[in-house]
Amino acid sequence: MAIASDPPKGGFQLSQLIYDTRYRSMTIQVATLIGVLALVFWLGANVTENLAELGKPIDFGFLGEPAGYDINQRLIEYDNQDIHARAAFVGLLNTLLVAFLGCILATVVGVLVGVLRLSHNWIVAKIMTVYVECFRNVPVLLWIVLAMAIMIEALPQPRDFRGDDPAASMLFDAFAFTNRGVYIPEPLFSRSLGDFSFFGIFDISIDLIAILAVLAAGIFTAKKIGAQADQIQNQTGIRPKTWPKTAGVILVPLLAILAILGFHLGYPALKGFNFDGGTHLRNSLIALWLALSFYTAAFIAEIVRGGIMAISKGQSEAAAALGLRPNRIMRLVVLPQALRIIIPPLISQYLNLTKNSSLAIAVGYMDLTGTLMGITLNQSGRELECVMLTMLIYLAISLCISGAFNIYNQRVKLKER
């Protein structure tokens, strides 16, 4: 190295900036920086000029104005006199809701299908292959509009539930599947503690906080009991029975707090032309949720299958030679190793699902795209602000999800030397 690059004689020459490897990287970087900055300035100048011409300089004040539109599916209180910012927040919560539900269902279905595709049963494996290929090779938007069409066209109308001999009936007298949406029982508290308000933007039920706190405390204690049992097992070789204690510390306080709060279920009931009471899940939510879940599940199934197949056969044979039963081989030997391979692509599927949830706009589910980038944009005419804000929020969600899972990934990663 030292011999190859002898220092040039004489002073610094301009051509060294390009021909001398010591300076060239600097030159390239500075040139890139200048190029990108010039591009940004050019775009920025164009934007300011265009906006000035239209007479609407960048201003986020519209977020504080009344929104004036209704959102039918919402997690928090909202009416059309609330401000645009709150509407966007309702939309954001809706996005997170469908993404959360979707990730759970997609994981369950995907793992099931992925494992069944490896089944020794020929016909089961083939059916799963057909499922995976069908869902993977057709656009998700088509699945979403198809699911919506099924919800609207194939399910009975609320009036079919009426009369002595109705054409449709409720499941367990608690669930009603109609073409206006699905009605499920809602949790109610007769001795509610009320709501806690964060700066008037976001109300959270104190009941919910109390229940979650009790549950968390219960799980924490159960973990302590488990650790104690581990210790005893290490010392004596005999594991004490823990499940009655564990169940006790989790369930008893939970039931107690539910009783204190006066928990009961509110059932939907047919009143007039429609159902009343219960929680009303709109068609759009259900359609989006099912379509996204089953579409993503096809990809997850392939990931799971690949992960399991990547574990060499010797691993399961060795476990079998040790006398483990098949389900224990899966649980103790194959899955822990397969998970390391499965988790990273699984995270990217979760991210895809979250991003695809923006297709809600096609079925009229009011998520972030439907509120902030949909009606708010149309009403305020602030395209630049709305689209940029929406992009930033999605970016933040994506970064949070991938960040959280990366931390998990670091923890399960093989500790090598």
Residues 249 and 218: beta-carbon distance below 8 Å: yes
Q: What's the closest the beta carbon of residue 345 comes to other proteins, in angstroms?
A: 11
Which residue, 245, 256, 246, 244, is CA-closest to 214? 256
Which residue, 412, 411, 410, 417, is CA-closest to 338? 412
Nearer to other proteins, 127 or 229 (CB): 127
Nearer to other proteins, 147 or 214 (CB): 147
Nearer to other proteins, 129 or 242 (CB): 129
The residue type found at 295 is Y
Nearer to other proteins, 45 or 209 (CB): 45
Task: Sheet containing 176-178: give its strands across.
Answer: 176-178, 181-184, 279-281
Strand, coil or helix: what is 266?
strand
Instruction: Name residue, tokens 């059309």.
Output: 80
- Beta strands 181-184 and 176-178 are antiparallel
Q: What's the closest the beta carbon of residue 124 comes to other proteins, in angstroms?
A: 5
Nearer to other proteins, 149 or 259 (CB): 149
Tokens of 338: 């397969």
Alpha-carbon distance values, 157 to 72, 169, 230 (Å): 19, 11, 56
Q: What's the closest the beta carbon of residue 346 comes to other proteins, in angstroms?
A: 16
Q: What's the closest the beta carbon of residue 153 comes to other proteins, in angstroms?
A: 6
Q: What's the closest the beta carbon of residue 289 comes to other proteins, in angstroms?
A: 17
Which stretches of 267-362 are DSSP H helices?
Answer: 283-310, 313-321, 326-328, 335-356
Nearer to other proteins, 87 or 222 (CB): 87
Q: What's the closest the beta carbon of residue 15 comes to other proteins, in angstroms?
A: 9
Give Cα 33 to chain centroid, integer Å.
Answer: 37
Nearer to other proteins, 79 or 383 (CB): 383
Nearer to other proteins, 218 or 370 (CB): 370
Tokens of 305: 């299958």
Nearer to other proteins, 125 or 269 (CB): 125
Which residue, 94, 137, 132, 103, is CA-closest to 115? 132
As a whole number of angstroms, the distance between CA 175 and CA 311 comes to: 43
Nearer to other proteins, 52 or 255 (CB): 52
Binding positions for other proteins, rule: CB under 8 A: 18, 25, 28-30, 32-33, 36, 43, 46-47, 49-51, 53, 119-124, 127, 133-134, 136-142, 145-146, 149, 153, 351, 355-356, 358-359, 361-362, 369, 373, 377, 383-384, 387, 390-391, 394-395, 398-399
Q: What's the closest the beta carbon of residue 63 comes to other proteins, in angstroms?
A: 18
Which residue, 256, 277, 166, is CA-closest to 210? 256
Tokens of 175: 């669930």
Alpha-carbon distance values, 168 to 16, 162, 281, 283 (Å): 84, 8, 18, 17
As a whole number of angstroms, the distance between CA 289 and CA 91 comes to: 15
Strand, coil or helix: what is 198?
strand
Q: What's the closest the beta carbon of residue 315 comes to other proteins, in angstroms?
A: 20
> Within a 10 A sphere around the Cβ of 116, how many other Cβ atoms?
17
Tokens of 126: 């083939």
Instruction: Locate the DSSP E strands across 126-214.
Output: 176-178, 181-184, 186-189, 195-198, 202-205
Nearer to other proteins, 274 or 348 (CB): 348
Q: What's the closest the beta carbon of residue 134 comes to other proteins, in angstroms?
A: 7
Instruction: Name residue, tokens 């503690």.
Output: 193
Q: What's the closest the beta carbon of residue 149 comes to other proteins, in angstroms?
A: 4
Q: What's the closest the beta carbon of residue 154 comes to other proteins, in angstroms?
A: 10
